[in-house]
């Protein structure tokens, strides 16, 4: 059975004190056995990791650099994350693709470095409204996968997590319909099976992200190919995040 994963992405929110309160509340109130992940800002990662000690909840960085080390002021490398015992890293979020102009080729380099340093990449893909309206979303997602993760060996590919995040549903309150989410998730799994094999495709957790809330998580997660969520706004409130985590 595939792992059910509910990952929060705090983005650029929460002071250290607010983050600490939030992590404590999540840790104290979650009793389920789905894999919970908290995607915190770099500054918060060690605090979150220490606070989560003794629980099965894990921490994720929201980004890493595509070079191993060197003169890249303000950046964080995968080996730094590994040295702080951070298990997961979100790679290719649409906000980084848009505001930081990250390319599919750079994302491929990040994925390689993350795996080399034994971090688990949560690789994000997803289309804009414009691409969807032109009905090019299937090809768009396929190209994102081909250019950033399909170069991996089967052994390495089997370690990653994929998140499908339609850009038009992020932070907008608009959610992909149950049918739209299932259709793209099934497409992603089919492409993985074509590139690797069905055993690998069947083992990969594919998360949905985009205005996932307590009141729609259950119907989204009920889809055969939706294995959890990458949650933005609703991950900033312990009760909402836990309600989503309990939606399987």
Which residue numbers are catalytic?
Answer: 93, 165
Nearer to ligand 13P, 190 or 248 (CB): 248
Cα torsion through 209, 127, 140, 68, rounded to 10: -70
Cα 8 to chain centroid, rounded: 8
Alpha helix stretches (DSSP H) within 117-177: 129-133, 137-148, 154-157
For residues 201 and 19, what is the distance between their CA atoms, to the nearest angstrom?
A: 35
Q: Are 200 and 193 in contact (CB under 8 A)?
A: yes
Tell me, residue by residue from 146 to 185, as one string, x for binding to ligand 13P by CB under 6 A and - for no binding.
-------------------x----xx--------------
Neighbours of 248 (CB within 10 A): 16
231 binds ligand 13P (CB under 6 A): yes
By beta-carbon proximity to ligand 13P, the closer residue of 171 and 194 is 171
DSSP state of 214: H
For ligand 13P, the binding residue among 10, 157, 232, 247 (CB under 6 A) is 232
Nearer to ligand 13P, 115 or 163 (CB): 163
CB-wise, 93 or 97, nearer to ligand 13P? Answer: 93
**Residue 210 in contact with ligand 13P, rule: CB under 6 A:** yes
Estimate to the nearest angstrom the gap between the alpha carbon of 103 and the chain centroid: 17
Q: Which stretch binds ligand 13P (CB under 6 A): 134-142, 147-155, 184-192, 210-218?
A: 210-218
């Amino acid at each position: 059975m595939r792992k059910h994963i509910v990952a929060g992405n705090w983005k650029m929110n929460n002071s250290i004190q607010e983050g600490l309160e939030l992590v404590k509340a999540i840790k104290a109130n979650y009793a389920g056995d789905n894999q919970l992940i908290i995607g915190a800002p770099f500054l918060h990662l060690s605090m979150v990791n220490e606070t989560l000690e003794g629980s099965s909840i894990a921490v994720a960085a929201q980004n890493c650099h595509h070079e191993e080390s060197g003169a890249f002021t303000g950046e964080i490398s995968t080996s730094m994350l590994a040295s702080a015992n951070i298990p997961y890293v979100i790679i290719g979020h649409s906000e980084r693709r848009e505001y930081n102009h990250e390319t599919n080729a750079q994302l491929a380099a990040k994925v390689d470095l993350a795996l080399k340093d034994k971090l688990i990449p949560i690789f994000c893909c997803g289309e804009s409204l414009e691409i969807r309206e032109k009905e090019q979303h299937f090809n768009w997602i396929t190209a994102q996968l081909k250019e950033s993760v399909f170069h991996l060996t089967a052994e390495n590919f089997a370690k990653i997590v994929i998140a499908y995040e339609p850009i038009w549903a992020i932070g907008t309150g608009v959610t992909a319909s149950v049918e739209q989410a299932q259709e793209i998730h099934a497409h992603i799994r089919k492409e993985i099976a074509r590139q690797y094999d069905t055993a690998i495709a069947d083992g990969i957790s594919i998360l949905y992200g985009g205005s996932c809330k307590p009141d729609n998580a259950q119907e989204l997660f009920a889809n055969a190919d939706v294995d959890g969520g990458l949650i933005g706004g609703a991950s900033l409130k312990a009760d909402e995040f836990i309600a989503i985590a309990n939606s399987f």
